[in-house]
Amino acid sequence: MANNSIVLIVEDDASLRRILEIKFRNKGYQVYSARDGAEGHDLIIKEKPQVLITDIHMPKMDGKSLCEKTYELKKENPFLTIVITSLVSEDHSWIDEMDETELMLKPFDLNKLTSRVDQYLGSA
């Protein structure tokens, strides 16, 4: 199943990043990944993904800063952002203020995540 849609995974946990890479590649997506927000930012500019999946707490640049820094890029090249985090107690209200940006709490259902991406790209 060939698919030109690009999914970018920005996650500092290597094992979770690898699981997500494999899952999305097996679904036929082109997958890029980064270990932190700074690498992720560079890949967003270079590869122009249709979907960004990012953790919040990462070294160099956290997920919130990544979302804020790339928000203007969404106007030129819209993409879905799914923010994943295990920190339920934090204020995540900033996510609601960003277009095409959603929150998914860890541990999340991998099938729910991939279904959401499929749904978005099917309607994009």
Structural domain of residue 69, as residue ranges?
A: 6-123
Based on the structure, what is the number of domains in the chain? 1
Model confidence pLDDT, tens digit, residues 44-69: 999 999 999 999 988 898 988 999 99
Q: Residue 24 is part of a domain; what is its CATH number?
A: 3.40.50.2300
Sign for the CA dihedral angle at 48, 49, 50, 52 comes to negative
Distance (Å, rounded) from C-alpha 29 to C-alpha 102? 20
Share of the chain above pLDDT 90, in %: 64
Model confidence pLDDT, tens digit, residues 3-28: 789 999 999 999 999 999 999 999 99
Q: What are the structure tokens assigned to 12, written together?
A: 């500092």
| φ, ψ at 63 (rounded to 5°) | -65, -35
**Structure confidence at residue 1 (pLDDT):** 46
- On whether residue 1 sits in a domain, the answer given is no
Residue 104 has a CB neighbour count (10 Å cut-off) of 15
**Structure confidence at residue 89 (pLDDT):** 65
Exposed, middle or buried by CB within 10 Å (0-12, 13-18, 19+), for 66? buried
Residue-by-residue DSSP string for 8-38: EEE-S-HHHHHHHHHHHHHTT-EEEEESSHH
Residue of higher predicted confidence among 94 and 116:
116
- On whether residue 97 sits in a domain, the answer given is yes
- On whether residue 52 sits in a domain, the answer given is yes
- On whether residue 32 sits in a domain, the answer given is yes
